[in-house]
């Protein structure tokens, strides 16, 4: 099994995905253990002094003015976890919780939090045992960290609350820890606060969305090329010299991908209808411009994610010179913005894909295809309602594109008077990514059927590879009406797990 070694200098996106999605094992480096011990020594020294230090010997948030005596500090750390574990709503997905826990561990191991080495080791032990705290949908405002979600994770470290075992069954955390020989931790000065104060949930969801969208944008280039082909469009608009004079990197990459898919097509450029076209419709002709802008948005979001991965997000932080200083680095604005940007780009990509699908189904605009791609139009409805489903998904994605980060709501008696709503931005992006996959799957299903209905014309080899693989995956070709949902589900699974990309790249080579 793959092992991820956690040091002091952050983590990579592939590390996070390996832990979150592939259950990679975690080891703490000697460097991290040394840094943990050194920072803890600084916190212990401050805790022994009579002067109040935020997070070490004071209350939290709006209660930070109270100095806490030494005999109450263990209770203080325990209480912050219990009181902040106040989430509500449906459970958050296992992969999200694992990413959340790993990213908090990454920051803990930076040597800037003051957490003891044994607490960090217990965090790693929980992940390695496959124990996943129950975290709820609502409870984070994306500021002062993803407080409620991280608190539910810290509660499990203490042997309290509920968690899911490796068998998928939710049980009391104390039972699961005992079964795996993990001793619950008793938190000391600053440790409770350090376990709660990070942007880890929103960052984990951003990293997973980036991985999924990377595949989806390549898939969108493929489905756009298939639709162009099915509509007898021209590939001349994809010429590299046209995109070189507007040098957005994503646009050039998207056009190159479409051109590679359409190589040697017998359908492009025919215009075999009674109303010859000078130009194809925007949804066909401008596909690289729209998908390309989304690709460039992905690139910016990836840059932000990489910076956040290299960060130690906590408040207060332990500095190398021995100071423990308060700060505002827990504010989620940088991550929240790009989460919202990605939802906007995904909605627009879905919108243009739906327009191409509708064009394929409309006999007045499809250039010779049967109405709704039906076998016997009137007796058969063909893909009429598949497009309804696609339209409903796109409409939902437009609502999800309304930015969460433009909102704020004050909390903690006005101490925390401006928040990022980054967790909410991340949650809606996950739904948007899921829906984008379904939208592209419907375009794929419609475009492949339309190509097969173009009798006497030979599709590009890459297009044929996609069609053949899709049919083998259980999404049937043209014919009389049948129960359509299973076909759409097969197309969705085929695109979602990357088989479409594999089939096309077996002909084209790697797409950009």
Q: If DSSP states are collapsed to H, E and C, what string results for 414-451?
A: CCECCCCCHHHHHHHHHHHHHHHHHHHHHHHHHHHHHH
Residues of the chain with pLDDT > 70, as a percent, come to 98
**pLDDT tens-digit series, residues 265-303:** 999 976 555 556 778 999 999 999 999 999 999 999 999
Per-position DSSP letters for 85-133, written without gaps between them: ---EEEEPPHHHHHHHHHHHHHHHTTTSS---HHHHHHHHHHHHTT-EE
Neighbours of 219 (CB within 10 A): 26
Q: For all residues of the chain together, what is the average pLDDT?
A: 95
Q: What is the pLDDT of residue 265?
A: 97
Q: What is the pLDDT of residue 51?
A: 81
> Which of 67-81, 243-257, 409-423: highest mean pLDDT?
243-257
Neighbours of 225 (CB within 10 A): 31
54 noted as active-site residue: yes
**pLDDT tens-digit series, residues 417-475:** 999 999 999 999 999 999 999 999 999 999 999 999 999 999 999 999 999 999 999 99
Q: What is the pLDDT of residue 145?
A: 82
**For the residues 108-124, what does the mean pLDDT come to?**
96
Lowest-confidence range among 258-272, 462-476, 493-507? 258-272
Query: Rounded to the nearest 5°, which phi and psi values hold at 352?
Result: -70, -30
Q: Which of 100, 97, 114, 140 is nearest to 54 (CA)?
A: 114
Tell me the Ramachandran region of residue 271: left when phi exceeds 0, alpha when psi lies from -120 to 50, beta otherwise.
Answer: left
Q: Burial-class residue 140 by CB neighbours within 10 Å (0-12, 13-18, 19+).
A: buried
**For the residues 365-381, what does the mean pLDDT come to?**
97
Q: What is the pLDDT of residue 166?
A: 97
- 3-state class of 350 per DSSP? helix
Cβ atoms of residues 445 and 383 within 8 Å = yes
User: How far is Cα 40 from Cα 230, in angstroms, rounded to an integer?
Assistant: 65
User: How far is Cα 405 from Cα 427, in angstroms, rounded to an integer?
Assistant: 12
**For the residues 8-30, what does the mean pLDDT come to?**
96
Lowest-confidence range among 171-175, 263-267, 410-414, 429-433? 410-414
Whole-angstrom CA distances from 232 to 29, 279, 366, 377 are: 58, 11, 9, 21
State yes or no: pLDDT of 63 exceeds 80: no
State yes or no: pLDDT of 498 exceeds 80: yes
Q: What is the pLDDT of residue 270?
A: 67
Strand partners, 67: 58
Lowest-confidence range among 260-264, 308-312, 381-385? 308-312
Q: Which of 302, 279, 297, 403 is nearest to 349 (CA)?
A: 297
Q: What is the pLDDT of residue 134?
A: 98
Q: Of the listed 54, 138, 217, 388, which one is catalytic?
A: 54
State yes or no: pLDDT of 72 exceeds 90: no
Query: Rounded to the nearest 5°, which phi and psi values hold at 290?
Result: -75, -50
Helix boundaries (H) for 158-248: 173-179, 191-194, 200-230, 240-244
- Tell me whether strands 25-28 and 3-6 are parallel, antiparallel or unpaired: parallel
User: How far is Cα 419 from Cα 332, in angstroms, rounded to an integer?
Assistant: 8
Residues in Cβ contact with 446 at an 8 Å cutoff, skipping those fewer than 6 apart? 227, 230, 357, 360, 361, 373, 383, 386, 387
Q: Which of 443, 452, 453, 426 is nearest to 494 (CA)?
A: 443
User: How far is Cα 189 from Cα 194, in angstroms, rounded to an integer?
Assistant: 10
Q: What is the pLDDT of residue 274?
A: 54
Q: CB-hemisphere CA count at 13 Å for 330?
A: 27
Residues in Cβ contact with 324 at an 8 Å cutoff, skipping those fewer than 6 apart? 42, 43, 46, 53, 54, 55, 56, 114, 316, 317, 318
Residues in Cβ contact with 288 at an 8 Å cutoff, skipping those fewer than 6 apart? 221, 238, 243, 251, 252, 254, 255, 258
Lowest-confidence range among 1-15, 347-361, 473-487? 1-15
Q: What is the pLDDT of residue 451?
A: 98
């Amino acid at each position: 099994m793959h092992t991820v070694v956690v040091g002091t200098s952050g983590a990579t996106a592939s590390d996070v995905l390996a832990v979150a999605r592939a259950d990679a094992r975690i080891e703490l480096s000697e460097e991290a253990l040394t840094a943990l011990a050194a920072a803890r020594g600084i916190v212990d020294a401050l805790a022994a002094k009579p002067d109040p230090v935020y997070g070490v010997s004071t209350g939290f948030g709006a209660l930070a003015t109270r100095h806490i005596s030494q005999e109450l500090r263990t209770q203080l750390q325990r209480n912050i976890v219990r009181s902040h574990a106040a989430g509500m709503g449906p459970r958050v997905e296992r992969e999200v919780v694992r990413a959340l826990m790993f990213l908090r561990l990454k920051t803990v191991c930076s040597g800037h939090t003051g957490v003891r080495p044994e607490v960090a080791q217990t965090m790693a032990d929980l992940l390695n045992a496959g124990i996943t705290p129950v975290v709820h949908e609502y409870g984070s405002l994306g500021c002062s960290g993803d407080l409620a979600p991280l608190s539910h994770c810290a509660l499990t470290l203490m042997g309290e609350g509920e968690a899911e075992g490796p068998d998928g069954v939710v049980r009391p955390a104390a039972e699961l820890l005992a079964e795996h020989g993990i001793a619950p931790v008793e938190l000391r000065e600053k440790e409770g606060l350090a376990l709660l104060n990070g942007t880890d949930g929103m960052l984990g969801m951003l990293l997973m969305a980036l991985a999924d969208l990377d595949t989806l944008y390549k898939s969108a280039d493929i489905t756009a090329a298939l639709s162009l082909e099915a509509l007898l469009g021209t590939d001349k608009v994809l010429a590299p010299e046209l995109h070189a004079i507007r040098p957005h990197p994503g646009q050039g990459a998207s056009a190159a991908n479409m051109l590679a898919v359409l190589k040697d097509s017998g359908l492009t450029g025919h215009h075999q209808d009674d109303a010859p076209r000078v130009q194809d419709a925007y949804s066909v002709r401008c596909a690289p411009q729209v998908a390309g802008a989304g690709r460039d948005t992905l690139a910016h979001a990836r840059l932000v994610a990489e910076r956040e991965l290299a960060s130690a997000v906590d408040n207060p932080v332990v500095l190398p010179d021995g100071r423990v200083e308060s700060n505002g680095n827990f504010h989620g604005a940088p991550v929240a913005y790009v989460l919202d940007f990605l939802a906007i780009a995904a909605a627009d990509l879905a919108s243009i894909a739906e327009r191409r699908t509708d064009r394929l189904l409309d006999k007045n605009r499809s250039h010779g295809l049967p109405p709704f791609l039906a076998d016997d139009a009137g007796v058969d409805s063909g893909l009429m309602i598949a497009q309804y489903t696609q339209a409903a998904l796109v409409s939902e994605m437009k609502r999800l594109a309304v930015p969460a980060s433009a909102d704020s709501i004050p909390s903690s008696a006005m101490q925390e008077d401006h928040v990022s709503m980054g967790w909410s931005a991340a949650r809606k992006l996950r739904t948007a990514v899921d829906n984008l996959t379904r939208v592209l799957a419907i375009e794929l299903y419609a475009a492949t059927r339309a190509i097969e209905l173009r009798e006497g014309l030979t599709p590009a080899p890459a297009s044929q590879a996609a069609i053949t693989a899709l049919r083998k995956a259980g999404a049937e070709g043209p014919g009389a009406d049948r129960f359509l949902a299973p076909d759409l589900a097969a197309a969705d699974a085929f695109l979602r797990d990357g088989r479409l990309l594999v089939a096309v790249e077996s002909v084209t080579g790697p797409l950009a």
